[in-house]
């Protein structure tokens, strides 16, 4: 009698009470096929599934677990905070300490407001930009995902690339009125001429440009210096708000985020993931002049019962302390680069067209001859080869993002032993493609 796979049992059970059996679409394995792995525990760079099989984790909760799963220092901080209650709905000193720390690490952020998710951060930042400028239009870029607020679900990246019809300039989700997204202009990523043309025609009506400064929701795509400079110059010239969505890149690619690497000072910044150390925590912040328009000081309303949650604040503070230690990012970046170099060598040896890129502890790999620079280029990579590679690596005990449109993430616990094990698994998998 064949042994029943517990992941399959749990997935079948989950689908009875949870739509699609998951609480975030990409987890369902729809692009790659097969059965999602149900996690029972995680430690350092590993997690174990319902079959008690150990995997090397290369998504790290989609970025937050930069210090490794169940980091003992973070666990201790969370336990200590939980002993005094999980939530107050009132201010705490910890919130001030976290705000001060963020402002110190990111000089563009003069004031910051805590929220509970990246979607809440980007949604609130856009409302604030519109309230500050008195304008309606916003610009986003193809393949960039800024959470699931209605006005942002137009040619969006992440899991939506699996479900959306990318041939239509229409909402990439059901339930979003066409009339609502008419205030959202979608331009190609890295297209300087397109943004110059739009600002020439409609610059005085544009409230904000929201940008993933390093895209991670159509795999990892880096912007050109010319693209970033054009956006900063045009938004400044026309009085539009430049919003850096660093929910993914903030404290992940560098201690000061992508903006510290690029030399760009945005007007508003959205943060999440790493800043909460794995707890539901996010924030948006920027110039005091703009932030002062928020209630209770101004007319732009934003509120949240669990904003500044003390347990999440404790996890965030300890995580920011850990990543601020000397040599942290040099080590993280070095190990991630070593991993990408090893994967590329293994692919070359097997004669598989393959390209890689990484910034800090964030990486992308592509079944293509060169690294893509746009949404269109990403969609032309060999998705079928990725699907096969994903399952071969899964069999080898390496858990990659279950979508070709997602960046990957390492942690400080991905040491040489772990990196070498991943490369060995890839070497075996490439030979079978």
Catalytic residues: 145, 245, 273
Place of tokens 């998998």: 429
Cβ–Cβ < 8 Å for 189, 220: no
Phi, psi of 30 (to 5 degrees): -65, -35
Structure tokens at 17: 């009470």
Strand partners, 362: 359, 409
Cβ–Cβ < 8 Å for 211, 249: no
Characterize 205-233 residue by residue with b for buried, 16 or more Cβ atoms within 10 angstroms of its Cβ, and e for exposed.
ebbbbbbbbbbbbbbbbbbeeebbebbbe
CA geometry: angle 92, 93, 99, nearest 5 deg: 100
Counts for the chain of helices (H) and strands (E), in that order: 15, 14
Q: Among 318, 254, 328, which residue's Cα sits nearest to residue 281?
A: 318
DSSP SS3 for 433? coil
Strand partners, 215: 221
Cβ burial, residue 428 (10 Å; 0-12/13-18/19+): middle
Residues 6+ apart with CB under 8 A from 83: none
Cβ–Cβ < 8 Å for 253, 228: no
């Amino acid at each position: 009698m064949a042994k029943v796979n517990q992941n399959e049992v749990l997935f079948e059970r989950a689908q009875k009470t949870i739509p699609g059996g998951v609480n975030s679409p990409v987890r369902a394995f729809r692009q790659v096929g097969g059965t999602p792995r149900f996690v029972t525990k995680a430690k350092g760079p590993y997690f174990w599934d319902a079959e008690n099989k150990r995997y090397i984790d290369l998504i790290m909760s989609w970025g937050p677990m930069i210090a490794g799963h169940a980091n003992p220092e973070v666990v201790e901080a969370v336990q200590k905070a939980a002993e005094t209650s999980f939530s107050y709905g009132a201010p705490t000193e910890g919130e001030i300490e976290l705000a001060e720390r963020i402002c110190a690490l990111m000089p563009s952020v003069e004031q910051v407001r805590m929220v509970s998710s990246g979607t809440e951060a980007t949604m609130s930042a856009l409302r604030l930009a519109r309230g500050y400028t008195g304008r309606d239009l916003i610009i986003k870029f193809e393949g960039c995902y800024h959470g699931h607020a209605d006005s942002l679900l137009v040619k969006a990246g992440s899991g939506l690339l699996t479900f959306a019809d990318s041939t239509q300039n229409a909402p990439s989700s059901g339930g979003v009125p066409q009339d609502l997204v008419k205030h959202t202009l979608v331009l190609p990523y890295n297209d300087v001429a397109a943004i110059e043309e739009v600002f020439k025609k409609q610059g005085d009506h544009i409230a904000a440009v929201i940008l993933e400064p390093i895209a991670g929701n159509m795999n990892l795509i880096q912007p050109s210096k010319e693209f970033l400079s054009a956006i900063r110059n045009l938004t400044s010239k026309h009085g539009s708000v430049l919003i850096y969505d660093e929910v993914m890149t903030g404290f992940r690619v560098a201690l000061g985020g992508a903006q510290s690497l690029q030399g760009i000072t945005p007007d508003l910044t959205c943060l999440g993931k790493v800043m909460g150390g794995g707890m539901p925590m996010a924030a948006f912040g920027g110039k005091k002049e703009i932030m002062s328009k928020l209630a209770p000081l101004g007319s732009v309303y934003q509120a949240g019962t669990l904003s500044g949650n003390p347990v999440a604040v404790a996890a965030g503070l300890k995580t920011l302390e850990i990543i601020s230690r000397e040599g942290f990012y040099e080590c993280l970046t070095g190990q991630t680069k070593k991993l990408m170099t090893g994967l590329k060598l293994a692919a070359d040896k097997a004669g598989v067209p393959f390209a890689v890129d990484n910034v800090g502890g964030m990486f992308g790999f592509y079944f293509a001859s060169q690294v893509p620079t746009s949404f269109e280029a990403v969609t032309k990579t060999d998705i079928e080869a990725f699907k096969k590679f994903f399952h071969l690596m899964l069999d080898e005990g390496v858990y990659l993002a279950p979508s070709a449109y997602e960046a990957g993430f390492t942690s400080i616990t991905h040491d040489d032993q772990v990196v070498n094990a991943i490369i060995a698994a890839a070497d075996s998998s490439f030979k079978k493609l």
